[in-house]
Amino acid sequence: MSEQTINDAMTKSPPPSPRVKSMKNFYRKLRKNKAAMVGGILILFFVIVAIIGPFFAPYDPTVQNHVNKLATPSSEHWFGTDHHGRDIFSRIIHGMSITLYIGLFSVIIGTVFGVFLGLISGYYGKRVDAFIMRCMDVLLAFPGILLALAIVSVLGGSLTNVIIAVGIFSIPVFARIVRGSVLSVRKLEYVDAVRALGASDGRIIFKHILPNILSPIIVQATLRMATAILTASGLSFLGMGAQPPTPEWGAMLSAGRNYMYDAPHVALFPGLAIVIVVLAFNIFGDGLRDALDPKMKN
């Protein structure tokens, strides 16, 4: 072998790992979905606004100015002012962090408990499966907003209780999805091989089954963000969520409905903010589902 051949072999970069190939394939399929890319860019923009936006908001979202109440949009107040003279643009910027905070932590609660229950139910089956699934069926028997409303009615109206309520009504959805995925995976040969080697149930569940069913969990969590935000806004609209003067979009929309004819901008801009955020998470979730589905063709 010549010296040049040896040098070429030494300088040649190693082939990419399967994980890198998988990520590149995922990004390539996601990039083909233009709507999903738009949704992802919007979500990234919302996150940036939620983090740094309050530092650049032109006005304090809670300071009232009754002399300038119900002012129409202008160069001074881009989205106008509400019935207390507060700048709507500043309140929407501050409300972005509240909205994403509620959606994120409620989905985390639903994901953690739902995934755990779904793993236990699908892996052990029989009586354990029957008991857990019947409990989930009871929760699913109630419409989501009504179940969340009942929970908040018992706990009291606050942002923390809204997060708990939305998280609880999200648990059955994750539990059923994970259970179905576990049922299709637990009978595969690699699971039998690991069990034959003496691995414990916990190791099999969390190290060998859970990593192989993450795709539907990720997709459902993204789509659930939209549902959680919409539900939380609905609870605040009904007066059961964020309390005044918190700049939460649902509460702002509720206050603005009294001025639909005299000052429609008071309700228009919070409503548009809810619609755009929910739409962004929905279309991005659809794109994730297509990109992570192994049945989809390249």
Rg (CA), the chain: 24
**Would you identify the CATH topology of the domain 33-57+75-292?**
MetI-like fold (1.10.3720)
Handedness of CA 283, 158, 117, 210 (dihedral sign): positive
Query: What is the C-alpha separation between 105 and 160, in angstroms, rounded?
Result: 10
213-222 as b/e: b if 16+ CB within 10 A: bebbbebbbb
C-alpha to C-alpha distance for 77 and 71, rounded to whole angstroms: 8
Please state the pTM of the whole predicted model: 0.84
The stretches in the chain having pLDDT less than 50 are 6, 8-10, 12-13, 297-298
Tell me how far the alpha carbon of residue 134 is from its chain's centroid.
26
pLDDT for residue 186: 82
**Residue boundaries of the structural domains of the chain:** 33-57+75-292
pLDDT of the residue at 14 = 53
Q: What's residue 298's pLDDT?
A: 45
Output the pLDDT for position 9: 46
